[in-house]
Each structure stands twice: as structure tokens, then as C-alpha cells.
Amino acid sequence: MFPFLESLIDLAIAKSQFMHDYFCFFVFLQAKLYVMRKLLPFLLLLIGLVQVQAQDVIQVMQYNLLNYGNLTSYCTSTNNSALMKNEHFKTIFQYAKPDILTVNEMAENSIYHDSLLRNTLNVDGETAYKRATITSTSQGDWLVNMLYYNSRKLTLQKHEAINTIVRATDVYRMYYNAADLAETEDTVFITHIVTHLKAGTATDDAADRATMTAAIMNYIQTHDIQNYLFSGDLNVYTSTETAYQNLIKDYSGVHYLYDPIDAPGAWNNNAAFSAIHSQSTHVSSNGCASTGGLDDRLDFILSSGALMDGTHGMQIQPSTYHVLGNDGAHFNLTIVSPTNTSAPADVITALYNASDHLPILVQITTEQSYLALEEITDALSVKFQNPVDQQLNLHLSFAKPEQYSIRIYDLTGRMHTSLEFSESNIKQDLSIDLQGMKSGIYFLHIKTANGQESVNKFLKR
């Protein structure tokens, strides 16, 4: 056990200079650690704090994917291939790095939901993203919503649907993977409500949208939720439309939803709102995408009062709310011409090719922290999903093949797992069985023969 503590102390000193004096003190007491066992849990907790974030930011993205996996007479395998769109979405998501991604206009077939997860989010060694289940629309419209999330930070606790005409509205309840969750059994919850309202400018279309939002507001008013977001393609053209007023109006002195940027008005084809328009990315159509240039605010992320005020452990940051790919200078124009420098050129091109909508982004902060999941040294990279259930799945990268060892310790310093490997591949994937271990916090210690090492804390559920 003593060499392990030495390694932990040395690594912590190297990684956290501002804690140097504290660790020097503990280094001085190393000789007494054998007889002062009660200090060991405290020491390990201090070391674990080196890898815990002081404050976390949750990146939220709302995006209409334009008939993803849904082929029609106009959106065909030639101009709307899911395989082709995956490359564009991969570029977009790797740039934006969403922790919560809500989407509209996906085919109901799970093949496509898994394809987006596997080919655009969990790529290049990333494994943390998960998705919710699919809600059948049951009204004959084959387009559904979906939520993808970073399971390092969040866990999906519950998913239900609000039955509204045209298509269902989805409600996803998640909780934050707080670093002390196993000890306190307390964390912060956030609910995300995702909808795709009826499109069209006819009177009947507006009436359908109003009916849908009335049902959604009834759900919000009859459920005990504090931190919640409401997002989707609302297909509204002005803030005076009944559907939108249902969302943001006063109900007996209570506002349930707020526009984080507080931008009411007649958004359609109005240059005054050019910086927040989200549709259309195209002027001329490829046959699938809508045309007309960027001149509509159809896509929204609205916030509960608790998130606006930060009174329940999370707070939305209105200053971060923006339309990815909209620089405010492309009113009634395609987003790719003239040159758009609001994002890297490959991202702008991907946004143009992927959909006729642009994604909405906003950040939420929380004072809580989650367990770090990745340790990178000059010659060793360690990635794994956290919290962990019955299997610890590791993705290791080495500068060159070499011998290495893996040890797992609990907070008392007791070693639960000890593995030796004679030689690694440069890229190494392996699974460690944790079924015999109790729930709680553990330390993963990996060390190579040439002295490179990594120490990470993880939560066993």
C-alpha cells in the first residue's frame, strides 16, 4: 500500500501546484501512515479533489435534423442520405460538444437513432453518450424527438410522453452525477421537455400548435418540477401567436417559461432579428431543404424560472444563448455566402449540408462537480465511463507497447483488484469485472513499466 500512496502524492503534487504545501505536509508524515491509518481516507479524499471540477458547465443543444432517416418524395436517398448527413453531424457535434442534445425530425426506426449515436457522438474513442427510448407518435406522423446525453455528467432517470395532436411531446428527467452522490445520495435534477409543433401558416395549423402547447403547459402546471427546459422546433412566426403565448404568459401570477434572451416580436422575415434566426440555411433547394435564406426564428430553448434564478442548484446563462452558424450578417442569405466566420469553415459547411435549420446552444452551470474521467500524461491516456455499474470499460492509449499494471483501491486504501499486463497494444480496450465490489467511490491506479501513471476516482453504483 505504501508505494501506491507515494505515487498518489507525487502525481498530485505535479498536477496541482496550488496544493503543494498541503501535500508536502503529508509527505512529511509518510513514515507515520502505517500507524495513523485514520488519516488515510482523508488523504485520499484530498488527492481525489485534484481531479474534481470546481464548477461544471452543461452545454445544451437543440437541433432539427431535417428528416433524418425519413425518406420522402422530396427528401430522398440522394439528397438526404443518413450516411451522408452523419459526417456533417459528426463535425458539428465534435465542435459544439453538447452534454444534452435534443433533436426533432428523426425517423421512428431505432436503426437511425443508434446510427446517430454511434457515428456522430461516440466516435474517435468517445464512449460516454447515451440516448433515450423512442416514443411512438401514434398519430400517423412518423417523425419523432430524441434526447442524447453525456453520461459522464448526467443520468436519465425517467422518460414519458405528453400525448398531443400531430405528434408526441417528450419529457426527460435527468439528474447530475455529483462527485459525492454515493455519500450524500443527493444531487440536482433537470427535466427537458422536447416538442415539434405543427408546421404551416394556415389558421388550422396555428390552432393545432395552440392545442399542443396548452397540453404541454397543463403537464408543467400539474407536475412538481423546478429546473426544466423546453425546446424544439415551434414553427411560430411571431411572439403574439397563441401557441407561443401559452408558453410564456402569466398564469395567475406565475410564469412557467421564459425566453432566456427576452426577444419577443414578429420574427419572420424581419432583419431586426437577423442574429437569432435559425431557418433556413439555404436560398435555393437541393430538393429536400427549405429555401428563402436565414429569416425565421423557428427553434427555441425556453427556461423555467428556477433555472433563470439559479435557486435549485443549476442556472442557465442567457449570455451563452446563440444560434450556431448565425453571424447576424446572413439575413435572407445562405449561411455559406458571403464568408461566415462565426464558426470554423468546416462547421459552417456541415451546418449548411446537414439541415435547413441551425442548432440552438445555451449553457447551464452548477456548483456541483462530477468525477473526472480522463487522465492524460505524456505517454498514457485513460478514458472510461463514470459512474460504473458491473463492468469498468477502459480505453487506454500508450505512446509505445509496454508493460503496465492496474490497481483498484477503496477509500480506506484496501486494494480490490490487481492486474499485470506483460505488453500492451498502442490502443488497448479492456473490461474489469466489479460485481463483487460494493457501491461507493474507488481509485483506479494505472502505471507503466517506464513510470508513467494515472490515478482516477470513480463511482461504483
Alpha carbon distance 196, 144 (integer Å) = 8
Q: Cell numbers 474517435 correspond to what residue?
A: 124
Burial (CB < 10 A; 0-12, 13-18, 19+), residue 254, is exposed
pLDDT of residue 376: 52
What are the structural domain ranges in the chain?
Answer: 2-52+371-460, 56-366
pLDDT of residue 328: 96
Mean pLDDT value of segment 109-128: 95
pLDDT of residue 365: 94
| Bridge-based pairing state of the strands 189-196 and 228-233 | parallel
* Cα dihedral 89, 135, 303, 128 in deg (nearest 10): -50
Q: For residue 378, what pLDDT band results from cuts at 50, 70 and 90?
A: low
pLDDT of residue 60: 98
Greater pLDDT, 160 or 16: 160
* 8-state DSSP, 303: E
Mean pLDDT value of segment 285-293: 92
Domain 2-52+371-460 falls in which CATH fold?
Answer: Immunoglobulin-like (2.60.40)
Q: Are 440 and 411 in contact (CB under 8 A)?
A: yes
Residue 432 in this model has a pLDDT that exceeds 70: yes
pTM over 0.85: no
pLDDT of residue 53: 44
Q: Are 276 and 287 in contact (CB under 8 A)?
A: no
**What are 130-158's pLDDT values in tens digits?**
999 998 765 556 799 999 999 989 999 99
pLDDT of residue 450: 78
**What are 236-277's pLDDT values in tens digits?**
999 999 999 999 999 999 999 999 999 999 999 999 999 999
Average pLDDT, the chain: 86
Q: For residue 6, what pLDDT band results from cuts at 50, 70 and 90?
A: low
CATH of span 56-366:
3.60.10.10
